[in-house]
Amino acid sequence: MDALDDANRRNRLDGIDRVIAAGSRSTEWNDLLIAPPPWYVDGKFGIFIHWGVYSVPAFGSEWYPRNMYRVGTPEYDHHRATYGDQQVFGYKDFVPMFRAERFDPNEWARIFSRSGARFVVPVAEHHDGFAMYKTALSRWNAADQGPQRDVVGELAEAVRAQGLTFGVSSHRAEHWFFFNGGRSFPSDVDDPGALDLYGPAAREETQPTTAFLEDWLVRTCELVDRHRPELVWFDWWIEQPAFEPYLRRFAAYYYTRAEEWGQHVAINYKFDAFKPGTAIFDVERGQLAGIRPEFWQTDTSVSTTSWSHVEPQHWKRPLDLLGDLMDIVSKNGALLLNIGPKADGTIPAEEVALLETIGSWLAVNGEAVYGTRPWIVPGEGPTAVAEGEFTDTQRQAFTDRDIRFTTARGDLFATVLGPVTGTEIQIRSLGSDLSLLPTDIQRVDLVGPNRPKLTYRRDPDALRVEVPDEASRDLPISFRIRPERPAIRDRVKHLLAD
């Protein structure tokens, strides 16, 4: 049975309330305002990790545990053909098969460091209810079953040893309904010995009970206390009305704990689950059309197929991911890029190569990314960026006329998103007839360690920069533009304040 009985839950809830009462924050929204941490606003790029029991079947997506119980889905048919009847072989039976025998957290952390990422966020618990960390609140966790290792704890130590910031994600809210398909036909979802894994399995349109919400709060606070993450990422279902007071209690607890520990922390949310200014807005697999005054984030995956490892997998190109990164950063955002390790704990070679390509590019062009802020306009070019979630595969490929601007230390950076086809780049936003840059240009450089000075001319309709032979033709190119009067950032601050 579930370790979180009524007495245990009540004791833990009382402890949460005592921490809040002793702190400087109440549970009212106006007392939960928080500034985005400097590590986040300056870091811009992080790694997300979807890895769990669902990596064993490696079919469809990380929603395999739900869909294998939904009659008529490909997962349902695949499961019966491959593993047998769901009453005989259910999702719980994948747990012993999830051995993670080749999981090396130090190697993972080295890969993430080479990618140029500044923060790392593994999924601590997905909708399936299997915790990837040691917990006293459920026997269904990676330290006691499957790998028999505290995956999140080991990864936290390895990531921090590389100088990266560590966060976690919680998708437990959706556990309320996740396995409800297994109630529509004979399956092990009704097995009395596994009810603590499969959970309520209630209808999606119902609101969670008080017991479920209290359980969610206690588990999430325990996760914070065990691993002291500097970022807690929440998936979409927390915007349900019943969660609202529990979100406020969690934020008050987490922010109070962070103040005790001297940490700069943040919470991610989607839609309108949190009030503006109390957490960081996140857009899943999508972007924004323009600059958002408040810092925000996109979470997306290296693949178009799934968040977790599946076979076959379809990966995005480094060119497209770097273009998305620069588009997001130019609009005051950060990119949380997901990978999906295999069940044995190895990261697919294709994903390692992709991350290393990104890292090599950032090693040269990071000056246009890290520590930057948006300019007066995010950019220019013919390729439209659709706004909103699940739009990451809807736009056309960026061209060499698609340019994004960032600024730092008085310099303006212009990054060409598409592969360069000619010998000259035209930046129309910087034409001398426009008021966006009302000062002469001192010099234009190619961003990088050697910083070669480039030939350019400024016409009324565009700044025209000659592309040197050493510039990349396959990945984005970043130019540093140094104005005579470095007043760019002051103008941007004024613009965003308005």
Alpha helical stretches, state H, 166-209: 195-198
**Residue 154: predicted pLDDT:** 98
Which residues of the chain form CATH 2.60.40.1180?
374-497
Q: For residue 412, which of 385, 389, 444 has the smallest C-alpha distance?
A: 444
Q: Does the structure show a pLDDT above 90 at 6?
A: no
Q: Residue 469: exposed, middle, or buried by beta-carbon count in 10 A (0-12, 13-18, 19+)?
A: exposed
Q: Does the structure show a pLDDT above 50 at 475?
A: yes
**Residue 73: predicted pLDDT:** 98
What CA–CA distances, in Å, run from 84 to 77, 79, 343, 377, 481? 10, 6, 20, 57, 63
Section 192-204 average pLDDT? 96
Task: List pLDDT tens digits, range 118-175.
Answer: 999 999 999 999 999 999 999 999 999 999 999 999 999 999 999 999 999 999 999 9
Task: List pLDDT tens digits, range 223-275.
Answer: 999 999 999 999 999 999 999 999 999 999 999 999 999 999 999 999 999 99
Amino acid at 133: Y
Q: Does the structure show a pLDDT above 60 at 1?
A: no
Cα gap 396→403, rounded to integer Å:
15
Which residues of the chain form CATH 3.20.20.80?
6-368
Listed in sequence order, the residues at least 6 apart from 326 whose beta carbon sits closer than 8 Å to its beta carbon are 368, 369, 404, 406, 415, 417, 476
Between 315 and 485, name the one with better pLDDT: 315
Please state, rounded to an integer, the average pLDDT across all residues of the chain.
95
Task: List pLDDT tens digits, range 438-465.
Answer: 889 999 999 998 877 899 999 999 999 9
Cα gap 222→71, rounded to integer Å:
36
CATH 3.20.20.80 fits 6-368, yes or no: yes
Which pair of tokens denotes residue 90? 């259910």
What CA–CA distances, in Å, run from 80 to 77, 180, 248, 390? 5, 18, 43, 30
CATH code: domain 374-497 is 2.60.40.1180
Cα gap 32→271, rounded to integer Å:
18
Q: Residue 494: pLDDT band by 50, 70, 90 thresholds?
A: very low
Give the phi and the psi of residue 53 in degrees, each rounded to 5.
-60, -35
Q: In what order do the strands lie in the sheet with 424-427?
A: 424-427, 463-466, 456-458
**Residue 3: predicted pLDDT:** 56
Angle subtended at Cα 263 by Cα 259 and Cα 264, rounded to the nearest 5 degrees: 100
Cα gap 283→374, rounded to integer Å:
18
- The β-bridge partners of 456 are 465
**Residue 4: predicted pLDDT:** 62
Listed in sequence order, the residues at least 6 apart from 464 whose beta carbon sits closer than 8 Å to its beta carbon are 424, 425, 426, 427, 456, 457, 458
The sign of the torsion formed by the CA atoms of 220, 391, 339, 311 equals positive
Q: Residue 491: pLDDT band by 50, 70, 90 thresholds?
A: low
Three-state SS sequence of 258-319: HHHHCCCCEEEECCCCCCCCCCEEEEECCECCCCCCCCEEEEEECECCCCCCCCCCCECCHH
Section 358-380 average pLDDT? 97
Q: Residue 485: exposed, middle, or buried by beta-carbon count in 10 A (0-12, 13-18, 19+)?
A: exposed
Which pair of tokens denotes residue 436? 């966006």
**Residue 136: predicted pLDDT:** 95
Return the percentage of the chain with pLDDT > 70, whole number: 97
User: CA 427 from chain center: how many Å?
Assistant: 31
Q: Does the structure show a pLDDT above 80 at 181?
A: yes
**Residue 428: predicted pLDDT:** 97
Task: List pLDDT tens digits, range 39-64.
Answer: 999 999 999 999 999 999 999 999 99
Task: List pLDDT tens digits, range 300-357.
Answer: 999 998 999 999 999 999 999 999 999 999 999 999 999 999 999 999 999 999 999 9
Say how many residues make up the chain. Answer: 498
**Residue 169: predicted pLDDT:** 98
